[in-house]
Structure 1
Amino acid sequence: MRAVVIHAPKDLRIDAFPDSPPGASEVRVKIEAGGICGSDLHYYHHGGFGTVRIREPMALGHEIAGVIAAVGSGVPHLLPGMRVAVNPSQPCGVCVHCREGLRNQCLDMRFMGSAMRMPHVQGGFREHVTVDAAQAIPIADQLSLGEAAMAEPLAVCLHAGKQAGPLLGKRVLVTGCGPIGALMVVVARYGGAAEIVVTDIADAPLVVARRLGASRTVNSATEASRLEPYRAGKGVFDILFEASGNQAALRAALDLMRPGGMIVQLGLGGEMTLPVNTIVTKELQLRGTFRFDPEFELALRLMGEGRIDVKPLITASLPFLSAVEAFELASDRSKSMKVQLTF
């Protein structure tokens, strides 16, 4: 079996990879589609992010979907030939946070394509993966495998929407319009937001945001003055989804928030210095959001029922043997939103 394996920054190879049959409670999935995520790009360009670094070769990828090739003897509900999305999260189920219902905060989480643990948890950019049967979620007949591979980032955004509270009738600001920011537009629109304004420093992703239903887009590098009306009074936005991970973007957005507004921080960057006085005097609420749990199956259901359409985000699909080309394309925000590998 072959896999897309990172060895060091800019050292991405197609390697032979061990292939194991499923155990009693496992299934083997022939991968068909895999989306390149921002974390995959961090491993590709920098060898990791923050304190997380590659210490051994690791297959990348955690946005994956495919067809069940074999099932273990103790798996009665799945059959070979079923099309599934693979949930990359495998919480332990027994730690204090899992028992409290906070499985996304698991103390012993195994997340595919992550170098947080040693040995690393190998990712899903492989021709076949063997996973726990609970991680393989059947998809609707009308859903393509490329769309199904979008379940993971959509789940991240559905969880962020849950952190924000009710969106119906709210004025929403999204800062940063990569795939996560773009999907926040989709979630905010689905949640009934009255107005969705999106900012970014590049024009191409803003075009996608408009296609997805943004009320207005603003290039904050070249047309920041267009945001001035939103400073009226003490600011007008009820909810901010900060998806850039950039301190300057977050600080600038605080002036546009109305008193009592909710800030949901999705983007991960370096450590930030915040204007605490502004947060205190405007009584702003700041919440983090991390991964997902039941939202993965919700994402598949919403897509499968045609209530959420992610197809406009998938801008290119390349064979996994062209992984380096695909990663370079995914790194160019002027040309791509979500690049997927096909297997």
Structure 2
Amino acid sequence: MSNPLHAVVIHKAGDLRIDEFPEPVPAPNEAVIDIVYGGICGSDLHYWQHGAAGESILRAPMVLGHEVVGIVRRAAPDGTGPAEGAHVAVHPATPAKEYVRHPADRPNISGGGYLGSAARFPHRDGAFAQRVAMPTRMLRVLPNQVDLKEAALIEPASVAWHAVNRIGDVAGQSALVVGCGPIGLLAIAVLKARGARHVTAVDLHDRPLAVAKELGADIVLKQPDDADVAAIDADVVIESSGSHRGLDTAIRGATRGGVVAMVGLLPSGPQPVQIALAIARELDLLGCFRFNDEIDEVIRALADGTLHVAPVISHVEPWRSAKKAFAVAADPTVSSKVLLRFRSVR
């Protein structure tokens, strides 16, 4: 008799468990994947801490996790997708079938599903599990030179890459990144990879700013005052704090005619932000939500060495220690990206 499989499941706010699960039974177009690493995302933390991530409210137990990489254990029965033994990253989105109103290159705003999301009911289980079945359309084969541990950052790095794509060509531009959580740090890495001339990073804590410097930030500022922010005068800004204060800093730090990409998800409801300043300076405020095919660009950049992400990983914990790992991930003074390890790889 085979050993039971396990997954990291949120039952309600504060109630994170390791539950047993049966062996996955794949559909014809699904491959069976042995998960190796899974990165703990802010949304995973919100489900754990609050039982909700924004408007997505937990109504039943749900397997968490969408930042995952692994190894194909069994190829899809229909012959599509990667072969057995391939190292793969996962694109966790499922565009809505009724997606018709927006251009074909923006399925991320179609209102579709996402791994480990309570946006719809029944919820869409995630992939913090020892073994899962995944549609082959979600799988991206990793080149041999891409380390699986670093590959666990492909999904959040794709979010940062998408934000830079929304801005456009950043080569030779000065940039400001507000909020140096994992997405903000990866935004710094992407900006440097895409040729930004000068990057300033802002955060509330010393540790993330030290990592920002390691990733190539030219200047780091801890809790700057309004005068310091105004002096930044950045051509492009990425707001990744997800707070109204962070967005206010982003607007104040942008040059006249500049661009602010809003990646951090602010709470629902009115927000006290200096929109009048954005109007007077003719700033472009761009909403940025998840990503599309940027995952392929990120994989190429990791493979050719132009994208440097390793310093973002602060901790790797075994899956059985998920509760400890979540507590560490929730403290930005001690961690950046925390990974769960589901199996060892030689």
What is the TM-score when the length of structure 2 is the normalising length?
0.93
Aligned ranges 1:66-105 → 2 under 5 Å? 66-92=70-96, 95-97=99-101, 100-105=104-109
Please state whether the residue corresponding to 1:255 is helix, strand or coil.
helix
CA distance in 2, matches of 1:242, 1:231: 15
Cross-structure match for 2:54: 50
Cross-structure match for 1:228: 227
Check conservation: 1:22, 1:71, Cα contact below 8 A.
no
Cross-structure match for 1:241: 238
Check conservation: 2:56, 2:118, Cα contact below 8 A.
yes
Please state whether the residue corresponding to 1:160 is helix, strand or coil.
helix
Give how far 1:18 is off: 3.4
Match of 1:123 among 101, 121, 126: 126
Give how far 1:132 is off: 0.7
Moved more, 266-275 or 139-148: 266-275
Give how far 1:307 is off: 1.5
1:132 aligns with 2:129: no
Give how far 1:88 is off: 0.9
Please state whether the residue corresponding to 2:297 is helix, strand or coil.
helix
Give how far 1:20 is off: 2.4
CA distance in 1, matches of 2:237, 2:195: 15
Please state whether the residue corresponding to 2:245 is helix, strand or coil.
helix
CA distance in 1, matches of 2:212, 2:170: 18
Gaps of 5+ in 1: none
What is the TM-score when the length of structure 1 is the normalising length?
0.94
Check conservation: 1:182, 1:208, Cα contact below 8 A.
yes
Check conservation: 2:229, 2:249, Cα contact below 8 A.
no
CA distance in 2, matches of 1:335, 1:104: 32
Please state whether the residue corresponding to 1:96 is helix, strand or coil.
coil
Check conservation: 2:6, 2:19, Cα contact below 8 A.
yes
Structure 1: 4+ residue segments shifted above 4 A: none
Check conservation: 1:152, 1:296, Cα contact below 8 A.
yes
CA distance in 2, matches of 1:92, 1:19: 28
Decide whether aligned partners of structure 1 residues 78 and 249 sit closer, same or farther in structure 2, where only a CA change above 3 A counts: closer
Check conservation: 1:97, 1:103, Cα contact below 8 A.
no
CA distance in 2, matches of 1:253, 1:44: 29
Give how far 1:76 is off: 4.1
Cross-structure match for 1:306: 305
Give how far 1:101 is off: 2.5
Decide whether aligned partners of structure 1 residues 229 and 9 sit closer, same or farther in structure 2, where only a CA change above 3 A counts: closer
Check conservation: 2:36, 2:70, Cα contact below 8 A.
yes
Aligned ranges 1:1-343 → 2 under 5 Å? 1-92=5-96, 95-97=99-101, 100-107=104-111, 109-220=112-223, 224-225=224-225, 228=227, 231=230, 236-270=233-267, 271=269, 272-343=271-342
Check conservation: 1:26, 1:75, Cα contact below 8 A.
no
Check conservation: 2:178, 2:249, Cα contact below 8 A.
no
Give how far 1:110 is off: 1.9
Check conservation: 1:93, 1:99, Cα contact below 8 A.
no
Equivalent pairs counted in the alignment come to 336
Q: Cα deviations across residues 265-322 of structure 1 (Å, max 9, x unaligned)?
A: 0111224233232122111111100111110121112112222121111111111000
Decide whether aligned partners of structure 1 residues 230 and 47 sit closer, same or farther in structure 2, where only a CA change above 3 A counts: closer
Report the AA paired with residue 137 of structure 1: R
CA distance in 2, matches of 1:114, 1:194: 37
Please state whether the residue corresponding to 2:140 is helix, strand or coil.
strand
CA distance in 1, matches of 2:103, 2:166: 20
Give how far 1:73 is off: 2.3
CA distance in 2, matches of 1:99, 1:74: 30
Decide whether aligned partners of structure 1 residues 97 and 81 sit closer, same or farther in structure 2, where only a CA change above 3 A counts: farther
Q: Cα deviations across residues 84-105 of structure 1 (Å, max 9, x unaligned)?
A: 1111112245521577332111
Q: Cα deviations across residues 71-92 of structure 1 (Å, max 9, x unaligned)?
A: 2221244211111111111224
Report the AA paired with residue 231 of structure 1: A
Check conservation: 1:170, 1:193, Cα contact below 8 A.
yes
CA distance in 2, matches of 1:275, 1:82: 49
Decide whether aligned partners of structure 1 residues 259 and 316 sit closer, same or farther in structure 2, where only a CA change above 3 A counts: same
Please state whether the residue corresponding to 2:220 is helix, strand or coil.
strand
Report the AA paired with residue 59 of structure 2: R
CA distance in 2, matches of 1:61, 1:256: 34
CA distance in 2, matches of 1:311, 1:319: 19
Q: Cα deviations across residues 189-247 of structure 1 (Å, max 9, x unaligned)?
A: 11111110010111110000000000000001xxx25x736635xx6211110100111
CA distance in 2, matches of 1:110, 1:230: 38
Report the AA paired with residue 214 of structure 2: R
